[in-house]
């Protein structure tokens, strides 16, 4: 497969890009990332109503034109129609993989990657425990070497804190963050360790300000956003991880380390999120953050590598 190429099609949202790029990296083919933007009425219509062909892309979208790839990996509703159009333009010889429920007939794609809580099932559906991601053993080892000098002298345990932000189903406000910061400060004092905190773009400036105010005097380092995100370094160096519940991707990435993962619950939620979090807690992978330190181990998530291996197998069988 050394002469084959791949495209990654997403709407540009961080969670989607992370999943699709993580899978493309695991497959190992040279790939291009393409961010899609649709004009009206296509951006409002369900994918099943889109006509065949690469239509509906607006001027801000990355172009889709020959040479067509051998593999297309898509994630997100707006990528479904374009991905199937790419497969058609390649005369059906482009292996099409979609991450998450595509909301079209499943056999339109060669492979569907669906998390347990998505409930999609079929002969061409691979079910994963969580979201695909870019956290690998080799990436963690490299990040650990990079950050060891800066972090190894800090008081342990090192507790990495991954902060998401408000979304369609969860709320995050300065008042909520003030409460979380107080609990984190108490945890750091009780464990005599150090907090390594990395907010996300969704956290928001007001919530970050509340976090900083609440952690004043605590033994904590909060990424200020001025340089590269130390995300992988903090995961690599962590003795345990605390992550907010609003992101399946962040929780899945934390669980790829095999380290204790505590989930901090935010107000809100949905059936899909409940299914996801309940499954992880019921199988002993995560625990709720209560402020009490515990030790446990589990088999790290390795779904991305498993899906990549299946893609190789199916693409080889199709040639």
All structural domains of the chain with their residue ranges: 6-133+303-318, 137-288
Contact 198, 164 (CB under 8 A): no
What confidence score (pLDDT) does residue 51 get?
A: 60
Residue 145 has pLDDT above 70, yes or no: yes
Correct CATH for 6-133+303-318 of 2.60.40, 1.10.1060, 1.25.40, 3.40.50: 3.40.50
pLDDT band at 1 (very low <50, low <70, confident <90, very high): low
Q: Do domains 6-133+303-318 and 137-288 have the same CATH topology?
A: yes
Helix, strand, coil % over all residues of the chain, rounded to 5: 40, 20, 45
Q: What is the mean pLDDT of residues 48-74?
A: 82
- Count Cβ atoms below 10 Å from residue 86 Cβ, excluding itself: 23
Q: DSSP strand E in 146-288: where?
A: 158-163, 194-199, 220-222, 240-244, 261-264, 286-288
What confidence score (pLDDT) does residue 50 get?
A: 66
What confidence score (pLDDT) does residue 307 get?
A: 96
d(CA 16, CA 147): 27
CATH topology of domain 137-288: Rossmann fold (3.40.50)
Q: Which secondary structure element, helix H or strand E, spans residue 74, and what is its range?
A: strand 71-75
Summarize pLDDT for 152-208 with one digit per residue, the tens: 899 999 999 999 999 999 999 999 999 999 999 999 999 999 999 999 999 999 999
What confidence score (pLDDT) does residue 13 get?
A: 87
What confidence score (pLDDT) does residue 188 get?
A: 97
Q: What is the mean pLDDT of residues 277-286?
A: 95
For residue 286, CA distances in Å to 78, 292, 293 come to: 32, 14, 13
Percentage of the chain with pLDDT > 90?
Answer: 73
Summarize pLDDT for 6-51 with one digit per residue, the tens: 999 999 988 899 999 999 999 999 999 999 987 777 777 777 666 6
- Render the burial of 120-138: b for 16+ CB within 10 Å, e for the rest: beeeeebebbbbbbbbbee
Q: What is the mean pLDDT of residues 290-313?
A: 93
């Amino acid at each position: 497969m050394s002469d084959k190429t791949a495209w990654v099609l997403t709407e540009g949202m961080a969670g989607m890009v992370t999943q699709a790029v993580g899978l493309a990296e695991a497959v190992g083919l040279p790939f291009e990332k393409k961010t899609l933007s649709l004009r009206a009425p296509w951006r409002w219509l369900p994918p099943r109503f889109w006509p065949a062909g690469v239509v509906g892309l607006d001027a801000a979208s990355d172009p889709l034109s020959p040479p067509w790839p051998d593999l297309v990996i898509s994630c997100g509703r707006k990528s479904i129609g374009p991905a199937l159009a790419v497969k058609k333009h390649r005369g059906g010889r482009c292996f099409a993989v979609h991450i998450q429920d595509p909301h079209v007939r499943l056999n339109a794609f060669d492979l569907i990657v669906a998390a347990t809580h998505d409930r999609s099932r079929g002969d061409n559906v691979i079910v994963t425990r969580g979201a695909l991601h870019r956290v690998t053993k080799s990436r963690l080892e490299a990040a650990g070497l990079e950050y060891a000098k800066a972090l190894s002298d800090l008081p342990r345990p090192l507790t990495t804190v991954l902060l998401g932000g408000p979304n369609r189903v969860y709320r995050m406000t300065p008042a909520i963050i003030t409460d979380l910061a107080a609990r984190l400060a108490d945890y750091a004092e009780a464990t005599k360790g150090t907090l390594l905190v990395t907010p996300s773009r969704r956290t928001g400036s007001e919530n970050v300000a509340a976090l900083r105010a609440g952690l004043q005097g605590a033994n904590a380092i909060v990424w200020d956003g001025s340089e590269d995100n130390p995300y992988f370094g903090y995961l690599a160096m962590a003795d345990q991880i605390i992550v907010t519940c609003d992101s399946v991707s962040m929780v899945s990435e934390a669980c790829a380390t095999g380290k204790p993962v505590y989930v901090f619950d935010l107000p809100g939620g949905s059936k899909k999120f409940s299914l996801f979090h309940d499954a992880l807690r019921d199988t002993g992978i995560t625990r709720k953050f209560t402020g009490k330190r515990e030790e446990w181990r589990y088999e790290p998530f390795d779904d991305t590598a498993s899906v990549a291996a299946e893609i190789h197998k199916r693409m080889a069988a199709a040639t």
